[in-house]
Amino acid sequence: MEKTDLAVGDSTSLEIIFSTRHYNTRISKRPRITTNEGPPDKNVSIHATVIQRPDSAYPIIVKPYKLDISQFGERVRDRMRFTISNVSDKEVSLALVADLPRYAKIELPRKIGAGQSASGEISLLEEVLKQSFEKSFTIEIDGDAKTRFTVPVKRTVKEPTAGRAGAQGKTSGSE
């Protein structure tokens, strides 16, 4: 949460993180929010259908089903392409219902024909290139809230040159 005290007319965002672990079913969670309004507390709800085999989902399959845009070297890694396959027998339309406005720009094909595949791309914003994070975006099929797919996005940043630079610093310091 960005802030806990909201002046009159002010707003804040509350990020709910859900770890799917080894669940293999429909899961609902209702985090409880306590404020100085007094009782009763208020809730937000999240729902997810955790699947063991995303490669056999229907009507679309996203590959890879988790996007790992980690960077372990000096070479900047700021984008990744992914494939969406329509495994149904009719054309599907795709829409982003939850994206990553502060982290990345996501491009999706608007429609994919029956049995066809198309590419999408995620491009990280410059201001988050040095950050490690785990987020996600959600695709809705044919405007149906019951047919959604959430794609986890992970980025880990490790700079291998830090150790070498430290060693060099010691050397130069002893001279």
Partner 1 sequence: MTLFKTCKPNRLVGVMNKPVLATVIAAAVVLLASAVLAAPLMDIPEKEFDFGFVPQNSEVSHVFWIFNRGDDTLIIEKVVPG
Q: Rule CB under 8 A: which residues touch partner 1?
A: 1, 4-24, 29-37, 42-52, 54, 57, 65-66, 98, 134-136, 138, 140, 145-150, 152, 154
The radius of gyration computed from the CA coordinates of the chain, to the nearest angstrom, equals 21
For 4, which DSSP code?
A: S
Q: CA 97, CA 58: separation in Å to the nearest integer? A: 18
- What's the closest the beta carbon of residue 7 comes to partner 1, in angstroms? 6
For 71, which DSSP code?
A: B
- What's the closest the beta carbon of residue 45 comes to partner 1, in angstroms? 4
Cα dihedral 71, 73, 76, 82 sign: negative
- What's the closest the beta carbon of residue 166 comes to partner 1, in angstroms? 31
- What's the closest the beta carbon of residue 138 comes to partner 1, in angstroms? 6
- Phi, psi values for residue 32, rounded to 5°: -105, 135
Q: Closest CB to partner 1 among 124 and 149?
A: 149
Q: Closest CB to partner 1 among 31 and 109?
A: 31
- What's the closest the beta carbon of residue 102 comes to partner 1, in angstroms? 9
- Let me know if 104 is exposed, middle or buried by CB neighbors in 10 A (0-12, 13-18, 19+): buried
Q: Closest CB to partner 1 among 58 and 72?
A: 58
Q: CA 17, CA 48: separation in Å to the nearest integer? A: 12
Q: Closest CB to partner 1 among 13 and 174?
A: 13
Residue type, 68: D
Q: Closest CB to partner 1 among 47 and 90?
A: 47
